[in-house]
Amino acid sequence: MYLPLALAALLPAALLSSTHAALLTPLPRQSSDSSTSYNDGIHLAVGPECGTPDGNYSDINVGLDLQSFKTIVSFGDSYTDGGREDGGPLAPPIVVYPNPEAGGRSTNGKIWVENIADDIGARLMDYAACALFPRMCQSGAVTDLSLWPSNPTPVDFLDQMATFLNQSNNLDPTTTLYTIFFGINDYQASLIDGDHMPQAAQVILDQIQILAAPPTNARAFLITDVYGRGAHSAWGEAYKQSIYSGLAQFQQGTNISAPVKWAFGNFARIWDGVLDGPPGYRAFGYTNTSACTTCGSDGCTMVGACDDPEHYFYWIPGHPSKEGMRIMADYVEEVFARCSFP
């Protein structure tokens, strides 16, 4: 057996638009039966809530065809970190006892965006980063380190962008999807440093503007969020809405060099459903909402791990298991398929 015990700090994200939102039936492969044939029995028990670009933030796909992408370029924190930060090929997602990180990932298998890339046959270029502690991804990058004096993490979105831009990659804008997933560590820092979430949202929008301009000329973006992992705050909600509204403006060609297509995936639907309900964690196939492994001053370890890791929500504290990463990918794919606008 592999995995240990531990409680993860909880903090999900956001209330969604009720005006244009509608709960959707999960895709067949996430059916809520007890079968273990798919993803060890862990499946989506919630669907996206779809909306419009001019409304409250929601799950939405504005003009993107997921199957058309040949390359995915990803920026983010430890949830998106595949074990290297230079866009190169990832190590196999294998756990080697007692290190709980599968090939440098903060989970025991593939990360969410890696699953999506596999599903569509795309190349993944991953620039996401975590704070190694020591050599363990217990926490991840923020949008901009200068906003958060309390955050010791030596990595942020700006650093990741510098790495990507300095490589002078020549990627086809029509077949490249750029994914951005920040907010968790910014929100945690805001509880100490105060509400700088508006500035954090602006950092994300500013970097999208840079990517959309020459020489990159990016035209397709996916933004995902679960800033509080179960917790909600007024400034966290405002952070999400600011990004969402900015993307809607970019779609119209406002404040950007050229109009872009975009999608928004609200992972808070999963965290709220698992941790707070309805429908509750058992509806997803989980037996426990805590972490299977523990972390301490010397890092994380599989020593003393739980004996049923497939059905624990978290693998290391605060980080989804590989089964959780899989349903995150499933959720995004449902957003692309079911929340198209117009």
- Residues 35, 43 contacting (CB under 8 angstroms): no
| H helix intervals, the chain | 112-120, 157-166, 184-193, 197-212, 234-251, 268-271, 322-338
**Mean pLDDT throughout 34-48?**
88
- Classify the phi-psi angles of 16: left when phi > 0, otherwise alpha if psi is within -120 to 50, otherwise beta: beta
Q: Where are the domains of the chain?
A: 62-279+328-333
CB neighbours (10 Å) of residue 29?
12
Highest mean pLDDT among 19-23, 36-40, 67-71: 67-71
In this structure, are residues 284 and 26 in contact, taking their beta carbons and an 8 Å threshold? no
Is residue 87 predicted with pLDDT exceeding 80?
yes
One DSSP character per residue, 93-122 reads ---BTTB--GGG-SSSS--HHHHHHHHHTP
Please tell me the class of the 62-279+328-333 domain: alpha beta
Per-residue pLDDT, 14: 32
> Given pLDDT bands bounded at 50, 70 and 90, which one contains residue 43?
very high
Q: What span, in angstroms and rounded, lies between the C-alpha atoms of 194 and 205? A: 21
224 in Cβ contact with 332 (< 8 Å): yes
pLDDT tens, position by position, 13-32: 333 333 333 333 344 444 43
Which pLDDT score is estimated for 22? 35
pLDDT band at 140 (very low <50, low <70, confident <90, very high): confident
Q: What is the largest CA-CA distance in the chain?
A: 54
149 CB-near residues (< 8 Å, 6+ apart): 193
Written as six digits, the tokens of 20 are 């244009």
Q: For a pLDDT cut of 70, what percent of the chain falls above it?
A: 87
Lowest mean pLDDT among 38-52, 100-114, 141-155, 282-296: 141-155
Residue with tokens 């951005």: 180
SS3 279: coil
Band the pLDDT of 201: cuts 50, 70, 90: very high
Residue pLDDT, tens place only, 238-294 = 999 999 999 999 999 999 999 999 999 999 999 999 999 999 999 999 999 999 999
Work out the pLDDT band at 137, boundaries 50, 70, 90: low
